[in-house]
Amino acid sequence: MDNFFLLLLVGLMIGTVGTLIGAGGGFILVPLLILVHPEFSAEITAAISIAVVAGNAISGSIAYARAGRIDFRAGLVFAAFTIPGSILGVYATRFIPKMLFDIVFGFLLIILAVFLFINKKRPAAEEQIQEEQSRWKNHLLKDHVGNVYNYTYNQTLGILISTGVGFLSPLLGIGGGIIHVPALVRLLKFPIPIATATSHFILAIMASVSVVVNLVNGNYSSDYVVRLVLGLGIGVLFGAQIGAYLSHKLKGSVIIKALAICLALVGARIIFAHF
């Protein structure tokens, strides 16, 4: 990926797809970097990806905020609990062998894909639902086109998930949205449009913190690394706006299935590259 125009196109694609499904695009960029630049250490691969993800998430969050689909109340709380983990995750990357990094990342993607395909919402007893929801947070949100979303979520569970996502995000360079979106939808029962938008907002905060830590650690000292980040980063800024626009046009179930297919294909490709 030495051609700057090619970097812009790749960034545009990453920004569009990543924002559409609320995953930031790291799940696309990391395997691409692994295949195109196998000489990069796990630390540098993750650092490049998280910088591009940060740009994508910030741009996408602006578009989602204009659409009125971000749950800022939940997003700020969850984002706060990702920060300690994201700092630890950056430092942990330097201790992970390259092959182990790739294989763990690949299997993680496949597991998430299977979870999205087979996990179905099972009806619970009315008494159980009422008992659980009495301890949950309730939110009524109306977006800018008039759609009304009324939902409840377990804030404690969300905090625990966010802490783990914060650690894994810079560790694998995936941004964490690819974990956060399924968790928000399946475990916390967020409506899909709100889950993708709120995940992007959380990601913008978390990834920005990771970029600062990587900068302090000198992971962007190489001119070539900076060139990659700039080329891809400019592309994702525009792609994120396209993805946010398309999110209004597609059904939530289509977005989730597209996410699962992407996860499985990319995960398998990374694993088989080592055998």
What digits encode the pLDDT tens for the residues 261-273?
A: 877 877 787 787 6
User: By percentage, how much of the chain surpasses pLDDT 70?
Assistant: 85
Q: For a pLDDT cut of 90, what percent of the chain falls above it?
A: 28
If you ran DSSP here, which 8-state letter would residue 95 be given? G
Confidence of residue 35 (pLDDT cuts 50, 70, 90): confident
Based on the number of CB atoms within 10 Å of its own CB, is 118 exposed (0-12), middle (13-18) or buried (19 or more)? exposed
What number of other Cβ atoms are within 10 A of residue 39's Cβ?
7
Q: What is the pLDDT of residues 195-248, one digit of tens each?
A: 989 988 998 998 898 899 899 989 999 999 999 999 999 999 999 899 888 877
Residue 123 above 70 pLDDT?
no
Q: How confident is the model at residue 129 (pLDDT cuts 50, 70, 90)?
A: very low
Q: Which two tokens stand for residue 150?
A: 């009324």
Note the pLDDT of residue 135: 61
Mean predicted confidence (pLDDT) in 66-78: 93
Mean pLDDT, rounded, for 23-35: 79
pLDDT over threshold 90, residue 78: yes
pLDDT (0 to 100) of residue 95: 79
The pLDDT of residue 112 is above 50: yes
Across the range 37-45, mean pLDDT stands at 86
Average pLDDT estimate for 45-73: 91
Q: pLDDT value at position 120? A: 55
Please determine, for residue 175, whether its predicted confidence score (pLDDT) is greater than 70. no
pLDDT of residue 126: 46
Closest to 106 in 3D by CA, of 261, 271, 263: 271
Cα gap 214→170, rounded to integer Å: 9
Q: What is the pLDDT of residue 203?
A: 87
Confidence at 131, pLDDT banded by 50, 70, 90: very low
Contacts from 28-35 at CB under 8 Å and sequence distance 24+? 28/262, 28/266, 29/53, 29/173, 29/232, 30/105, 30/172, 30/173, 30/174, 31/105, 31/106, 31/266, 31/269, 31/270, 32/1, 34/102, 34/270, 34/273, 35/269, 35/270, 35/273
Report angle CA 200, 111, 268 to the nearest 5 degrees.
Answer: 100
pLDDT bucket at 134, cuts 50 / 70 / 90: low
Which residue type is seen at 114? V
